[in-house]
A = this chain, B = another copy of it.
C-alpha cells in the first residue's frame, strides 16, 4: 500500500440536480446527504487510508475557487486542474502523468467525487484488496464492480470471467456492457454474472500510461507534450492547446473495453451514484410519514416527499410523492417518479437562453 495514491475526480457538470446544481456548482460540490458535500465526503473517505501527500483531486479550472473553499487541508500542488472537461480519459491520463512524475512506482485509486458510499469500512477494505491485486498483477487494470441490488437501467455492467486464483472475489473481466434496457437488466440481475460498473479503478500509473500509448496514441502524444512543459512557464499554454486538440472520451470506451488484462473486484459497500433527486430521497433517512424535510417547512398530511427549503418557508398541505427544491431564483416541484425529467427543464431553459438559471 505504500505507493498507493488516490485521485478523486471532481470535474464534470450535470443537470440532474437542478436547480440546486448549476453550471457553476455541479453535483459533487453539493451536500445532498448530511452536511458534507459529496466531494468533501469522498476526500475524507480516502484520507482514512491514504496519506495526504498521496491524495490528489482532479477537476477543471472553473471550479478552482469551489475546490479551495471545500478542501482546505490539501496543498495547492495536489489539485490537478484541467483547462476544461473532456470526459474521463483525458482527465485520468493527466492525473496519471502527474502522479507518475511524482512517484514512478505509484498505484492509483481513481474514484469519482460524486458517489455516495454508506459502508466506508467495507469500501476501504475493497480498495486495499484491489491495490494488493495490482501489486500481484502489475500489468492489470482493476475495476471495482458492485453487486446489483436491483435490475438498474442507469448503470453500465461488467460481465465476470474466470476467478483470479488465490484472491477471493476477484475475476477477469469478460465484457463491459453499456446501460441496458429493462429486459436485459433483468437478465443481468438474475444471472449472477454481472456487476455494476462503479467507475472506481485501481492500477499502476506505469500500466495505464502504457495502455494510453497503445490504445489512445493521440491522447498519449499530447500527454508527452504536457510532460515536457511540466514545471515550466508555458505549462498552462501547452495544457490548454493539448486539451483543445484532444477528443472527449470516456475511460470505459477509450481503454477499459479494449484493454487485454482487466480484472474486477466485487464490492458491496452501499454504493450509489445518486443520479436523481428521487435517489437522494431513497437513500435519505425519513420521518414516520416517509418524508425527508430539510429547512423551514410546515407540513400537514404530507407523505413520501422530499422537500428542501433555502431562504424562505415552504408550506406543504396534502401532497404526496413529490420532490420540492427551493432556491433563491427558482423552485422545482416534481413528481418523484419523474425526477429524471428535470433534465427536460434544463434543456428548455437552455433553448430559452435563460443562462442565469442554468
List residues of A whose CB falls within 8 A of some B CB.
Answer: 19, 298, 300-301, 312-320, 322, 324, 326-335, 337-339, 341-342, 344-345, 348-349, 357
Contacts and interface: CB of A to CB of B under 8 A. Distances in A.
8 tightest A-B CB contacts, nearest first:
A318-B335, A318-B338, A317-B334, A313-B330, A315-B332, A315-B345, A312-B329, A317-B341
A314 to B, nearest CB: 5
Contact of A333 (B315, B330, B337): B315
Contact of A317 (B320, B327, B328, B345): B345
A318 B334 contact: yes
Nearest to A339: B317
A300 B330 contact: no
A319 B341 CA distance: 12
Contacts of A327: 312
A189 B220 CA distance: 84
Contacts of A333: 314-317, 319, 322, 324, 333
Contact of A313 (B313, B318, B320, B357): B357
B338 A315 contact: no
Contacts of A348: 298
A317 to B, nearest CB: 4
B317 A332 contact: yes
Copies of this chain in its oligomeric complex:
2
Contact of A328 (B312, B314, B341, B344): B312
Contacts of A330: 312-315
A331 B315 contact: yes
Contacts of A317: 332-335, 338-339, 341-342, 344-345
Given A301-B335, A317-B341, A317-B345, 5 more contacts: A300-B338, A313-B329, A314-B333, A317-B335, A317-B338
Contacts of A341: 300-301, 317-318
A327 to B, nearest CB: 8
A328 B331 CA distance: 12
Among A315, A316, A332: residue with most chain B CB under 10 A: A315
Contact of A315 (B19, B301, B312, B314): B19
12 contacts: A300-B341, A300-B345, A301-B341, A312-B328, A313-B330, A315-B331, A315-B334, A317-B332, A317-B338, A318-B341, A319-B334, A320-B335
A334 B299 CA distance: 10
A158 B337 CA distance: 49
B331 A300 contact: no
Among A312, A329, A344: residue with most chain B CB under 10 A: A312
Contacts of A314: 330-331, 333
A25 to B, nearest CB: 18
Nearest to A342: B317
A322 B319 CA distance: 8
Contacts of A312: 327-331
Contacts of A320: 335
Nearest to A330: B313
A23 B80 CA distance: 56
Contacts of A337: 318
Nearest to A345: B315
A135 B111 CA distance: 89
A279 to B, nearest CB: 16
A328 B313 CA distance: 10
